[in-house]
Amino acid sequence: MGNFRTMLLPLLFVLLCAVAGGRGEAVAPGGWTPIPNIQAPHVTEIANFALVEYDKRNGANLKLEKVIRGETQVVAGTNYRLVLATKEGSSSATKNYEAVVWEKPWEHFKNLTSFEAVQG
Ligand SMILES: *[C@@H]1O[C@H](CO)[C@@H](O)[C@H](O)[C@H]1NC(C)=O
């Protein structure tokens, strides 16, 4: 009996560590992770989706200059929070916006859930 306990406790400890360790590798729920490769085609696709959607909803004509930075969050799909440098129509002035796009790739679903002017 005593022997069983001394075996079981370390085993439980190892199991708990494995579970905790596995979680540690994944993204913390609600946490935002910087996108390492901001030039990835899929990031550009998300950015263009955000601008086309914003233009459509607001009768604007914002064009993507470049993605400045971005983060993702895992939420039944992925939230992309991107800072975009844009130009309005033929104007040469650059204006930055922070766009949040929610994507569920397996449903080919994307939605622009937030779009705000930002500094820098
Ligand atoms: C997309 O996001 C907007 C803003 O959050 C929301 O009003 C709208 O219902 C969403 N559309 C879909 C199809 O989920």
Q: Which atom of ligand 1 is nearest to the CA of 113?
A: 5
Beta bridge partners of 118: none
> What are the structure tokens assigned to 74, written together?
């895992």
Q: Ligand 1: distance of its center to the CA of 6 in Å? A: 55
CA dihedral of residues 74, 79, 82, 86 (deg, nearest 10): 160
The pLDDT value recorded for residue 119 is 83
Span 26-51, pLDDT tens digits: 545 679 999 999 999 999 999 999 99
Q: Ligand 1: distance of its center to the CA of 92 in Å? A: 31
Report CA-CA distances (Å) from 5 to 9, 12, 35, 88.
Answer: 6, 10, 46, 70
For the Cβ of 111 lying below 6 angstroms from any atom of ligand 1, the answer is yes
The pLDDT value recorded for residue 3 is 56
Is 103 within 8 Å of 113 (Cβ atoms)? no
pTM above 0.85, yes or no: no
Q: Which atom of ligand 1 is nearest to the CA of 111?
A: 1
For the Cβ of 33 lying below 6 angstroms from any atom of ligand 1, the answer is no
For the Cβ of 77 lying below 6 angstroms from any atom of ligand 1, the answer is no
Ligand 1 pocket: which of 53, 54, 111, 114 to mutate (most atoms <8 Å of CB)?
A: 111
Beta bridge partners of 66: 85
Q: Which residues of the chain have pLDDT under 70?
A: 1-29, 120
